[in-house]
Amino acid sequence: EDQVTQSPEALRLQEGESSSLNCSYTVSGLRGLFWYRQDPGKGPEFLFTLYSAGEEKEKERLKATLTKKESFLHITAPKPEDSATYLCAVQRGTSYGKLTFGQGTILTVHP
């Protein structure tokens, strides 16, 4: 069965203090690994999709990387508006539209 484990569960940073979130996964036939941002009471907002080990993608202060066993979401010089829950999810090659999500990392950035 597919499994996604995210760490840490919660992360508190000072504004400007860079850090990384981890997503470890086990999936048979990875089709894609997804990162989402979720604000309280809202649906997940798409950030990145990574398809193969070694791939990297960037968007503003965020950079996602992928290996065969895990993915990292690097946050450079975060701002308070980056505070949110960050979700990682995997999709199998045969499971169209079905994502297995991790529990998420709650990120709080203090000014």
Partner 1 sequence: GAVVSQHPSRVICKSGTSVKIECRSLDFQATTMFWYRQFPKQSLMLMATSNEGSKATYEQGVEKDKFLINHASLTLSTLTVTSAHPEDSSFYICSVIRDRNTGELFFGEGSRLTVL
Verify binding: residue 63, partner 1, rule CB under 8 A. no
Verify binding: residue 56, partner 1, rule CB under 8 A. no
Structure tokens at 65: 């990387």
Q: 48-65: b or e for each residue (b if 16 or more CB lie within 10 Å)?
A: bbbeeeeeeeeeeebbbb
Verify binding: residue 102, partner 1, rule CB under 8 A. yes
Nearer to partner 1, 35 or 78 (CB): 35
Q: Quick check: 37 and 85 in contact, CB under 8 A?
A: yes
- Would you tell me which residues interact with partner 1 (CB under 8 A)? 4, 31-32, 34, 36, 41-46, 49, 87, 89, 91, 96-99, 101-104
